[in-house]
């Protein structure tokens, strides 16, 4: 409880003044209402006594007008201010949720991203409600009720006592009872909502499988059932909320009557002028108005609270502190936020980008891997074991091995996405963890196995790799990726929206967009994770020709399980079960007649077999 | 067409009626309440009555309070029931409609938007359903009742009330006119935010690899800010409208009070009557003002309702379940599939993806589909899956048009391996069995046949390993084999494979082909391939180019004919054999 409050206070810290103003305005609204009703009661009672001249009534008449207008204006300003605070807070938190994930993507592991979407939508709404419907009005109402109680005490101690009992009932007992009664139902509801989100997410993400594997009827049934259970809970919560509202009406009316009776008794004993009776009754009623919405709102308290906790868990300070991420966090923050200008070598240094003669550049080691071990979690088996490799600028290195041999994991380590558990990975003689993220991304880029395309235009999807790219550069990249004819044939060309995850394009086209991105990015080092997996032989060949022509001066690490083109690479690394089993030039490896030679043989036989048909 | 009122079922109508009635009665009780309260004050103030003397009136008042409280509670509960029912129905109908629309429509919008509608969007209808609709009755009835009472008691008061209502209504309409437009803008900002947010979070790895992920933070913040600004605009309008109405009703109450006061002073009116009218005057405006502010809060619900209706009215681009759809006698070897002059166009585009496609696959045969990427190979499978309906031509299954068959039955006969299989958050077993009941041995056997067992041995908890569906830690080849295991476990008579050996190394591919081929031979299969390994062993090969059938025939005849397939073959051959 306290941690959430502390967290909320921390985030509200920036809006301290606005919060104070909102509370003050809320209190002012209530005060104006009390004053208006009180004056009105006084006015009508005085009028009933038929004063000698109407002029005596002018003061209360003006008072009623004044307080009435003040109340309306104060209420307007209060609502505006409290919503403004809540919305500003929500907007800031939404941004921070993304920043947190961006800083620690591994925090997402095992998590549904759709639940994260829930966190920035539904949970954020709940958090706003917590602020607007409970915290701010309760603070204001408590202040005003205390003042009102003090005023009543001057009139009659009994009236003040009755009033305070009413306030405690409406402001504390009722909310607590409502909370206690609905807590379980709210928790159940939250669980149901999560299940509903999960069902919707699965059905949308895996729509093809859901339909093709006959899962649809079952899923439909389950979704309907969850909705029905949700409906029953909503009814139950509605009943409690309604009871709370009804009870609140009874409490406040009973309090007004009680206070009135006490006042009547005081009047009967001559301690209170008669004109005050109506004033007291009306003012009491007005002062209790603030509590009327708070009690029933507690039928949602548990949910608001849990939502606040969830949003809290998604914000950076909390992610930073999450257990298990500490060690890794160091590895990542070193890259993303801490800039180390002193040690960071410039990307251009020692790299041939076509300007320097290759011989001089060849002396520098671009990439050096020493006894690298890596795995995804401390309790999991090693994915990479004792890998060592040196790459000089401009070299083309093939990394071959069967699926699951750790090829893709190696690329993850080289990109700094996965920290090395043991050993070292150095780019330009600088540990990968010490590279400022932006510099490393300028140095190295990746063509992934499955390209992710954003629901944007083709142009935006490409520009992502280089925002300042000119139209010619875009087309040049498309040409290398063998995609220019296709894009030219599209009615909207580069402005075609590719659809959710690029679904408007075929698999091969998506893959080539990813390639075009990397070409456009123009980094001196390109890592390729089976870039031709979705291409047919003809296109693969055309692509490889174009790619290596464009990458003549670049360093390429080409992960593949197909041996096409491998014979033209400078160096071949054979991985098996996470370890390097062979390394050398194509001819050398063939001469050794071991694993690589066998793979090559198979590669040839596969085609020969077909030739025999 | 924008409707402001949802179509309701009979049950929902009853709940709405109950909620409205409860709210109206509870609100009308303000009349006797004011009456008895006045009696207490009047007696005590003017007649100097003691507490005991007013106890009778106090008892009546207590009774009214309890009744009012009970009615308020009842109305709330009924309104919650009503809203809950409508929301549950709208939500599950929307979900069903998304399943009916299929991937072609659903993928044209970011899934973040769909999810925002299904979740938060329908949640936001609460204000509209639980408050606005049930209370609209009492917003009319209560002022009418108070007006009738005032008319009977005092003509001047009734006159003031009668004159001010149309003016108030006019003010409400003036402010309310721009409310829906502002709310729609707010919704667009919300949809953009949710669509974009989910997209960038899912594509975070890609963004990071280009060093662009931190730039997106600014974009997300901008979108959040834009949503905040749009929301604030909506709220400002709503608050402004309450302010205007409050000031206006205050002036009206003031008029009533002044006229009452003047007559009180001059002795033309007794205190009790003036007091009760003064108590009732705010209650006269209260429901109208409430309706005004709820009108604004309800715009969210109306916006969602309009979206819901638009989706529900969308024509599915694929097949719908026909009433009384036919089924065919079960056949383990599948069915004869025939395409007759099939032309297909994706909705919203004009160029056909497939043109005049004709072919026939006999029961138990294998057809390999080849062609450059983007020529409609996958679309061909989408048509058979019922995701897309041809604009021209017919698809016949054992001579019966596909659209006459029961869609559920037909999909039960199919097994489909998509290009990018989706993984669910759940155990490996659940990911293979996909809601079907399967024994562990069956799952294990399927995994073995798909050559997934080496990877399985590496997984810590075997079949019970929980997979992270969105960030699965299996290599491309392993995923492909796991997807094949899904297919094998379901043992369908008709198989549609989209690049089954994609991302496999040659060793695995060769081994897999050995086991997969006999399995395929015992059923009807359509394979989209880009490598020739499987194509060479298919019964027929279909070469597609720009949506047209370029050539079709057995691999042998096509090779001999020396056309497109032969040249592909020469390339393949040349690439992998000749150049050593």
Centre a 10 Å sphere on the Cβ of residue A9 and count the other Cβ atoms it contains.
11
DSSP A346: P
DSSP, residue by residue, A425-486: EEETTEEGGGS-HHHHHHHEEEE-SS----SSBHHHHHHTT-TT--HHHHHHHHHHTT-HHH
Query: Taking the CA of residue B184 as centre, how many other CA atoms within 13 Å lie in the half-sphere pointing to its CB?
Result: 9
State the pLDDT at residue A595: 86
Cross-chain CB nearest to A94 (options B215, B224, B435): B224
> Across the interface, do A108 and B201 touch by the CB < 8 Å criterion?
yes
- Residue B308 and residue B341 in one domain: no
Optimal mutation site among B224, B241, B479, interface A, most CBs of chain A within 10 A: B224
10 Å Cβ neighbour count for B562? 11
Q: d(Cα A343, Cα A349) in Å, to the nearest integer?
A: 13
Chain A residues in contact with B575 (beta carbon < 8 A): 537, 540-541, 564, 607
Confidence class for position A340, pLDDT limits 50, 70, 90: very low
Residue B418: helix, strand or coil by DSSP? Answer: coil
Where is pLDDT greater, at B401 or A379? B401
DSSP of A221-263, one letter per residue?
Answer: HHHHHHHHHHHHHHHHHHHHHHHHHHHHHHHHHHHHHHHHHHH
Contact residues on chain A for B45, CB-CB shorter than 8 A: 45, 48, 267, 274-275, 277-278
Distance CA A501, CA A511 (A): 12
Give the residue-averaged pLDDT of A318-345. 40
Backbone angles phi, psi at A406, to 5 degrees: 100, 10
Measure B40 CA to nearest chain A CA, in Å.
9
Q: Is B94 among the domain residues?
A: yes
**Residue A342 scores a pLDDT above 60:** no
pLDDT on residue A363? 55
pLDDT at res. B168: 86
For residue A77, give every residue at least 6 positions away whose Cβ sits within 8 Å of its Cβ, in sequence order, or none: A25
pTM for the full predicted model:
0.89
pLDDT > 70: percent of chain A: 91
> CA-CA distance, A583 to A575, in Å (whole number)?
9
Chains A–B, number of C-beta pairs less than 8 Å apart? 573
Residue A333 is predicted with a pLDDT of 34
Is 50 exceeded by the pLDDT of residue A81? yes
What pLDDT was estimated at residue A565?
A: 80
- Cα angle, residue B291 at apex, residues B286 and A67 outer, rounded to 5°: 35
Q: Which residue of B has its CA nearest to A406?
A: B475
Query: Is the pLDDT assigned to residue A359 strictly greater than 90?
Result: no
Q: Which of A289, A59, A193 is nearest to B123 (CA)?
A: A193
Rg (CA), chain B: 35
At residue A179, does pLDDT exceed 60? yes
Chain A nearest-CA residue for B89: A227
Angle, in degrees to the nearest 10, between helices B299-312 and B55-106: 40
Whether A561 and B506 lie within 8 Å, measured CB to CB: yes
B41–A281 C-beta distance less than 8 A: yes
Q: If 0-12 CB within 10 Å is exposed, 13-18 middle and 19+ buried, where does residue A335 land?
A: buried
Kindly state whether residues B150 and B110 are assigned to the same domain.
Answer: yes
The one-character DSSP state at A300 is G
pLDDT of residue B221: 93
pLDDT of residue A187: 94
Supply the range of the domain harboring residue B159. Answer: 10-312
Residue B2 lies in a domain: no
Same domain, yes or no: B95 and B158: yes
Segment 88-107 of chain B within 8 Å of chain A by CB: 88-89, 91-92, 95-96, 98-99, 102-103, 106-107
Picking from B268, B295, B312, the residue at the C-terminal end of a domain is: B312
Chain A: give the shortest CA distance to residue B323, in Å.
16
Contact A94 B573 (CB under 8 A): no
**Is the pLDDT at A611 greater than 60, yes or no?**
no
Q: How many separate domains does chain B show?
A: 2
Does the pLDDT at position A57 exceed 90? Answer: no
Residue B395 and residue B290 in one domain: no
Measured between beta carbons, which residues in chain A are less than 8 angstroms from residue B374?
486, 505-506, 508-509
Q: SS3 string of A114-183?
A: HHHHHHHCHHHHHHHHHHHHHHHHHHHHHHHHHHHHHHHHHHCHHHHHHHHHHHHHHHHHHHHHHHHHHH
Q: Report ipTM (2 d.p.).
A: 0.91
Q: Does the structure show a pLDDT above 90 at A214?
A: no
Task: Say yes or no: B175 and B295 in one domain.
Answer: yes
Are B285 and B341 within one domain? no
B536 domain-assigned: yes
B101: in domain: yes
The answer to whether B477 faces chain A, any CB pair under 8 Å, is yes
Question: Which among B542, B552, B543, B480 is positioned nearest to B516, based on CA atoms?
Answer: B480
Angle at B567 between CA B565 and CA B571, to 5 degrees: 115
Which residue of chain A is at minimal alpha-carbon distance from B22? A242
Residues B427, A261: Cα–Cα separation, whole Å: 68
Output the domain CATH number for residue B474. Answer: 3.40.50.300
Q: Is residue B502 part of a domain?
A: yes
Cβ contact A447:A514 at 8 Å: yes
CATH of domain A8-97+111-320: 1.20.1560.10
Last residue of a domain, one of B270, B295, B312: B312
pLDDT of residue A355: 34
Q: Which residues are within 8 A (CB) of B145 and not within 5 positions of it... i.e. 6 or more apart?
A: B28, B31
What is the reported pLDDT for A41? Answer: 84
Q: Does B436 touch chain A (CB under 8 A)?
A: yes
Tell me, rounded to whole angstroms, the distance of Cα A411 from its chain centroid.
Answer: 27
Residues B104, A208: Cα–Cα separation, whole Å: 10
Give the closest residue to A494 by CA, choosing from A458, A534, A449, A533.
Answer: A458
Same domain? B496 vs B394? yes
Contact (CB<8Å) B41/A446: no
Domain with residue B56: its CATH number is 1.20.1560.10
Report the residue from A120, A205, A260 with minimal CB separation from B422.
A205
Q: Where are the domains of chain A?
A: 8-97+111-320, 358-612
Provide the β-strand partners of residue A584.
Answer: A572
Residues A134-175 pLDDT 10s: 999 999 999 999 999 999 999 889 999 999 999 999 999 999
For residue A254, give the chain B residue with the closest CA: B62
Which has more pLDDT, A389 or B572?
A389
Are the beta carbons of B374 and A90 separated by less than 8 Å?
A: no
Distance CA A415, CA A419 (A): 9
A610·B83 Cβ contact <8 A: no
Q: Which of A39-48, A351-360, B258-267 has the lowest mean pLDDT?
A: A351-360
CA A362 to chain B, closest CA, distance in angstroms equals 26
Shortest alpha-carbon distance between residue A291 and chain B (Å)? 15
By percentage, how much of chain A surpasses pLDDT 90? Answer: 47
Is B120 in the same domain as B233? yes
Q: Select from A105, A508, A564 the Cβ nearest to the Cβ of B575.
A: A564
Shared-domain flag, residues B367 and B284: no
- The stretches in chain B having pLDDT less than 70 are 1-4, 571-580
Question: Are B77 and B193 contained in the same domain?
Answer: yes
| pLDDT at residue B504, rounded to an integer | 75
Do B506 and B475 meet the contact criterion of CB atoms below 8 Å apart? no
pLDDT tens track for A102-124: 888 878 888 888 888 888 899 99
* Residue-averaged pLDDT of chain A: 85
Residue B262, chain A, CB below 8 Å: the answer is yes
Q: Are A51 and A60 in contact (CB under 8 A)?
A: no
CB atoms inside a 10 Å sphere around CB A188:
16
DSSP string, B290-354: HHHHHHHHTHHHHHHHHHHHHHHTSPPSS--PPTT-B-----TT---EEEEEEEE--TT--S-SE
Dist CA A277 CA A48 (whole Å): 13
Pick among A22, A36, A44, A411 to test the B interface (most B CBs inside 10 A) = A44
Burial of A560 (0-12, 13-18, 19+ CB in 10 A): buried
Residue B195 maps to a domain: yes
Phi/psi of residue B355, each to 5°? -130, 120
Does one domain contain both B537 and B419?
yes
Contacts of B412 in chain A (CB under 8 A): 214
Does residue B56 sit within a domain?
yes
pLDDT digits (tens, 9 = 90+) for A477-499: 998 888 899 899 888 899 999 88
In a domain, residue B329? The reply is: no
Query: Residue B343, by phi and psi: left (phi above 0), alpha (psi -120 to 50) or beta?
Result: beta
Taking CB atoms and an 8 Å limit, are A219 and B420 in contact across chains? no
Q: Is B475 on the interface with A (CB under 8 A)?
A: yes
Residue A1 pLDDT: 65
Residues 303-322 (B) with a CB less than 8 A from some CB of A: none
Question: Hey, are the CB atoms on B45 and A440 less than 8 Å from each other?
Answer: no
* CATH tag, A358-612: 3.40.50.300
* Shared-domain flag, residues B505 and B380: yes
Highest mean pLDDT among A344-353, A410-419, B384-393: B384-393
């Amino acid at each position: 409880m306290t941690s959430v409050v502390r967290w909320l206070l921390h985030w509200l810290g920036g809006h301290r003044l606005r919060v104070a103003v909102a509370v003050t305005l809320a209190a002012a609204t209530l005060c104006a209402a009390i004053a208006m009703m009180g004056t009105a009661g006084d006015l009508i009672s005085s009028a009933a006594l038929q004063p000698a001249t109407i002029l005596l009534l002018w003061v209360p008449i003006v008072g009623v007008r004044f307080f009435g207008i003040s109340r309306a204006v104060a209420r307007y300003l209060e609502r505006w201010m409290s919503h403004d605070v809540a919305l500003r807070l929500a907007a800031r938190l939404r941004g921070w949720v993304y920043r947190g994930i961006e800083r620690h993507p591994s925090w997402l592991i095992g998590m549904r991203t759709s639940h994260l979407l829930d966190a920035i939508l539904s949970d954020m709404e709940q958090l706003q409600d917590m602020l607007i419907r409970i915290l701010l009005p309760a603070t204001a109402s408590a202040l005003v009720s205390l003042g009102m109680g003090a005023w009543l005490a001057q009139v009659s101690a009994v009236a003040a006592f009755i009033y305070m009992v009413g306030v405690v009932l409406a402001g504390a007992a009722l909310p607590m009872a409502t909370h206690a009664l609905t807590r379980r139902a709210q928790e159940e509801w939250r669980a149901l909502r999560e299940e509903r989100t999960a069902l919707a997410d699965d059905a949308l993400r895996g729509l093809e499988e859901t339909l093709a594997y006959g899962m649809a009827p079952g899923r439909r049934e389950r979704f309907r059932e969850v909705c029905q259970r949700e409906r029953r809970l909503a009814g139950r919560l509605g009943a409690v909320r309604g009871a709370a509202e009804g009870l609140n009406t009874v409490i406040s009316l009973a309090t007004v009557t009680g206070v009135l009776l006490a006042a009547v008794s005081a009047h009967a004993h001559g301690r209170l002028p008669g004109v005050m009776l109506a004033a007291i009754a009306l003012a009491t009623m007005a002062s209790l108005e603030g509590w009327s919405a708070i009690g029933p709102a507690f039928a949602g308290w548990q949910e608001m609270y849990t939502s606040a906790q969830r949003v809290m868990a998604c914000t950076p300070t909390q992610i930073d502190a999450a257990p298990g991420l500490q060690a890794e966090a160091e590895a990542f923050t070193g890259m993303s936020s801490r800039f180390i200008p002193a040690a960071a070598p410039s990307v251009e240094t020692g790299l041939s980008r076509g300007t320097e003669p290759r011989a001089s550049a060849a002396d520098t080691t671009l990439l050096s891997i020493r006894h690298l071990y890596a795995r995804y979690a401390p309790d999991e088996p090693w994915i990479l074991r004792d890998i060592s490799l040196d790459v000089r600028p401009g070299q083309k290195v093939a990394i071959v091995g069967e699926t699951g041999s750790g090829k893709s994991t190696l690329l993850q380590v080289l990109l700094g996405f996965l920290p090395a558990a043991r050993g070292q990975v150095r780019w330009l003689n600088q540990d990968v963890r010490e590279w400022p993220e932006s510099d490393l991304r300028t140095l190295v880029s990746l063509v992934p196995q499955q390209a992710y395309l954003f629901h944007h235009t083709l142009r935006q999807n490409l520009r992502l790799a280089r925002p300042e790219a000119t139209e010619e550069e875009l087309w040049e990249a498309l040409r290398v990726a063998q995609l220019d004819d296709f894009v030219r044939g599209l009615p909207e060309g580069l402005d075609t929206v590719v659809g959710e995850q690029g679904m408007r394009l075929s698999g091969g086209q998506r893959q080539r967009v990813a390639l075009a991105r990397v070409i456009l990015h123009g980094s001196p080092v390109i890592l390729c994770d089976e870039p031709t997996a979705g291409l047919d032989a003809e296109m693969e060949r055309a692509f490889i020709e174009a790619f290596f022509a464009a990458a003549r001066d670049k360093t390429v690490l080409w992960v593949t399980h197909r041996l096409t083109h491998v014979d033209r690479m400078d160096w071949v690394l054979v991985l098996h079960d996470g370890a390097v089993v062979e390394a050398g030039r194509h001819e050398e490896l063939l001469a050794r007649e071991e694993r690589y030679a066998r793979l090559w043989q198979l590669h040839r036989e596969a085609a020969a077999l077909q030739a025999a048909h | 067409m924008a409707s402001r009122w949802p179509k309701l079922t009979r049950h929902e109508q009853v709940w709405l009626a109950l909620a409205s009635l409860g709210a109206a009665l509870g609100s009308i009780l303000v009349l006797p309440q004011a009456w008895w309260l006045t009696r207490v004050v009047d007696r005590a103030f003017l007649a100097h009555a003691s507490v005991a003397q007013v106890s009778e009136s106090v008892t009546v008042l207590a009774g009214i309070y309890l009744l009012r409280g009970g009615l308020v509670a009842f109305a709330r509960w009924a309104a919650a029931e009503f809203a809950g029912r409508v929301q549950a129905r709208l939500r599950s109908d929307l979900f069903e409609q998304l399943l009916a629309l299929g991937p072609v429509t659903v993928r044209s919008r970011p899934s973040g938007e769909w999810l925002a509608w299904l979740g938060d969007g329908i949640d936001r209808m609460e204000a509209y359903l639980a408050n606005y609709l049930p209370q609209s009755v009492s917003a009319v009835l209560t002022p009418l009742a108070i007006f009738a009472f005032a008319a009977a008691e005092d003509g001047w008061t009734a006159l003031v009330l009668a004159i001010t209502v149309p003016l108030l209504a006019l003010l409400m309409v003036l402010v309310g006119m721009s409310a829906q437009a502002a709310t729609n803008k707010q919704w667009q900002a919300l949809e953009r935010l949710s669509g974009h947010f989910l997209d960038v979070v899912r594509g975070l790895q890609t963004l990071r690899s280009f060093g662009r992920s931190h730039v997106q933070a600014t974009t997300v913040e901008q979108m959040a800010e834009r949503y905040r600004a749009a929301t604030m605009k909506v709220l400002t309008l709503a608050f402004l409208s309450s302010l205007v109405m409050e000031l206006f009703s205050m002036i009206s109450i003031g008029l009533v009070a002044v006229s009452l006061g003047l007559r009180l002073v001059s002795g033309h009116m007794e205190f009790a009557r003036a007091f009760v009218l003064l108590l009732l005057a705010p209650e006269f405006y209260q429901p109208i003002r409430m309706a005004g502010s709820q009108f604004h809060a309800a715009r969210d619900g109306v916006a969602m309702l309009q979206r819901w209706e638009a989706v529900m009215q969308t024509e599915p681009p694929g097949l719908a379940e026909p009433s009384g759809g036919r089924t065919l006698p079960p056949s383990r070897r599948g069915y004869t599939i025939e395409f007759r002059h099939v032309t297909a166009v994706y909705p919203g585009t004009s160029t056909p993806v497939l043109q005049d496609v004709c072919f026939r696959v006999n029961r138990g045969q294998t057809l390999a589909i080849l062609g450059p990427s983007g020529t409609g190979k996958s679309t061909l499978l989408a048509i058979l899956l019922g995701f897309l309906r041809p604009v021209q031509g017919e698809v016949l299954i054992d001579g019966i048009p596909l659209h006459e068959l029961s869609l559920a039955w037909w999909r039960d006969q199919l097994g489909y391996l998509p290009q990018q299989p989706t993984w669910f958050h759940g155990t490996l077993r659940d990911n293979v069995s996909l809601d079907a009941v399967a024994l562990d041995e069956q799952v294990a056997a399927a995994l073995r046949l798909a050559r997934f067992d080496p990877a399985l041995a590496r997984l810590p908890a075997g079949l019970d390993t929980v997979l992270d569906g969105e960030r699965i830690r299996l290599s491309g080849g392993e995923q492909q084999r796991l997807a094949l295991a899904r297919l094998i476990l379901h043992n369908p008579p008709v198989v549609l494979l989209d690049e089954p050996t994609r991302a496999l190394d040659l060793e695995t591919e060769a081994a897999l082909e050995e086991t997969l081929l006999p399995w395929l031979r015992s059923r009807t299969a359509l394979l989209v391939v880009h490598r020739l390994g499987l194509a060479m062993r298919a019964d027929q090969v279909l070469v597609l180019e720009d949506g047209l059938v370029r050539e079709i025939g057995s691999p042998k005849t096509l090779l001999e004919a020396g056309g497109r397939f032969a040249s592909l073959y020469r390339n393949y051959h040349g690439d992998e054999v000749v150049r050593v």
